[in-house]
Amino acid sequence: MIGGGQLARMMVPAAIELGVDLRVLAEAEGMAAAIAAERVGDYTDTATVLDFAKTVDVVTFDHEHVPQDVLRALVDAGVPVRPGPDALRYAQDKLLMRERLSELGLPVPDWARVLVPAELDAFIAEHGGAAVVKTPRGGYDGKGVRVVRSAAEVSEWFTAAAEDGGSGALLVEELVDFRRELAQLVARRPSGEVAAWPLVETVQVGGVCSEVIAPAPKSAGRLADVAADVAVAIADGLGVTGVLAVELFETVDDRVLVNELAMRPHNSGHWSMDGATTGQFEQHLRAVLDLPLGGTGTHHAWSVMVNILGGPEEGQLVDRYPEAMANHPTAKVHNYGKEPRPGRKVGHVTAVGDDLDEVVYEARSAAAVFQD
Ligand code: ADP
């Protein structure tokens, strides 16, 4: 696995259970996945990545940032890369993603590629005076996403996009009037088998995911079917292998629109480790190893995951274990081993059960023990 963050770390127990020898190429010493880090190296350096790849059977990722030329060099050297460069490019570039999904006839917000401020102002004028501008590459957790009423609000982004080695274009989208945000996770193996977990509701605060409810309340039936069909069409259409997360908007007029794609285990699937027959980390391993996929059913009516954002102002998460464990014996705590810092995802808590209000309360109050 290339990348040593919390996703690589959470892959470790799944790999141990299956007896899979997981090796991690981490960006730096002491990262979340240090326990499995075979080596530390620069994932943008072809020689480093090729050298690492010699020690493994399959290469996969905990992030989407490995450059295309490095990915292509791996493929040319005969290394199975999952997901491969032809799929990953759509997770690396939001403009390419919008273009491809539109070609596939999948539901996306109204969008345009804009090269100069005048084009952006024209789009804003045609869409009720406001729009969402996104940098095509390198954004995460809401960075690189801005609601604007005038192109002047993102003038520095046009300059930066031109310097990025890209086309200099920005992505602009209609400001979607959504009721809530949803996510549909699926896993696909090279042979084509696909498995879908239940559709989930995600709650974002300031562009960062704070909570996930599985399954999404009031989603049984048409909504769940549409979301699963869309995600499977994307997985097949883009040839994704491994876990694919499709972030969706449920609009006030009952449409489902695709927002974002991630081709790896995703925050919106963390609940599955404790709430589903097969968690996303095990499923990702099965998928990239082209093994039959596991069941995606749930153990309980509801699973709720709450992120621990920032952590305690002083000390470490473990300092709060006595209080959390004494008061919340059914909550499952996941600690990423990261230094607490404002806004940083340092862990999460999952609660499961049959009464949604109780499960939400339990997950939120257990997570709150770790926050100041
Ligand atoms: P990131 O790369 O940070 O994941 P996203 O494209 O997912 O960026 O956008 C972050 C958040 O901004 C979304 O979760 C959503 O709340 C909001 N957002 C993004 N696009 C739109 C849109 N077209 N209309 C309304 N809100 C949007």
Nearest atom of ligand 1 to the alpha carbon of 176: 24
Average pLDDT value for the chain: 95
Q: Determine the longest span between alpha carbons in the chain, in angstroms.
A: 59
Q: What is the pLDDT of residues 97-131, one digit of tens each?
A: 999 999 999 999 999 999 999 999 999 999 999 99
Q: Which residues of 314-344 are buried (b: 16+ CB within 10 A; e: fewer)?
A: eebbeebeeebeeebeebbbbbbbbebeeeb
| 38-53 residue pLDDT tens | 799 999 999 999 999 9
pLDDT of 345? 96
With a pLDDT cut of 70, the percent of the chain lying above it is: 98
Other Cβ atoms within 10 Å of 220 Cβ, number? 12
Report phi then psi at 333, rounded to 5: -100, 130
pLDDT of residue 62: 96
Q: Helix, strand, or coil here: 279?
A: coil
10 Å CB burial of residue 50 (0-12, 13-18, 19+) is middle
Decide if 155 contacts 116 (C-beta within 8 A): no
- Of the candidates 238, 201, 244, 195, the residue with the CA atom closest to the CA atom of residue 223: 201
Where is average pLDDT lowest: 134-148, 249-263, 338-352? 134-148
175 Cβ below 6 A of ligand 1: yes
Would you say the CB of residue 140 lies under 6 angstroms from ligand 1? yes
The CB of 27 under 6 Å from ligand 1? The reply is no
Report the pLDDT averaged over residues 166-176: 91
Q: What is the pLDDT of residues 192-204, one digit of tens each?
A: 999 999 999 999 9
Please tell me the chain's helix, strand, coil percentages from 3-state DSSP, rounded to the nearest 5.
Answer: 35, 25, 40
> What pLDDT is stored for residue 164 in this prediction?
64
What is residue 86's predicted lDDT score, i.e. its pLDDT? 98
Interval 44-101: pLDDT, tens: 999 999 999 999 999 999 999 999 999 999 999 999 999 999 999 999 999 999 999 9
> What is this structure's pTM?
0.96
C-alpha of residue 6 to centroid of ligand 1, in Å: 22
Contact 97, 109 (CB under 8 A): no
Distance from residue 308's CA to the centre of ligand 1 (Å)? 21
Structural domains of the chain sorted by starting position, each given as residue range(s) with its CATH number in brackets: 6-81 (3.40.50.20), 110-174 (3.30.1490.20), 178-368 (3.30.470.20)
Q: Which of 143, 260, 264 to mutate to test the pocket of ligand 1 (most atoms within 8 A of CB)?
A: 260
Q: Is 181 in the pocket of ligand 1 (CB under 6 A)?
A: yes
C-alpha 4/C-alpha 22 separation (Å) is 12
pLDDT on residue 42:
97
User: Hey, whose CA ends up nearest to atom 15 of ligand 1?
Assistant: 207
Strand-pair category, 24-26 with 37-40: parallel
d(C-alpha 53, C-alpha 45), whole Å: 12
Residue 306 pLDDT greater than 80, yes or no: yes
In the block, tokens 């109050």 appear at 365
Q: Are 199 and 216 in contact (CB under 8 A)?
A: yes
**What number does the ligand 1 atom closest to the CA of 173 have?**
23
Structure tokens at 79: 């290394």
Would you say the CB of residue 12 lies under 6 angstroms from ligand 1? Answer: no
The confidence score (pLDDT) of residue 202 equals 98
Averaged pLDDT, 233-250? 98
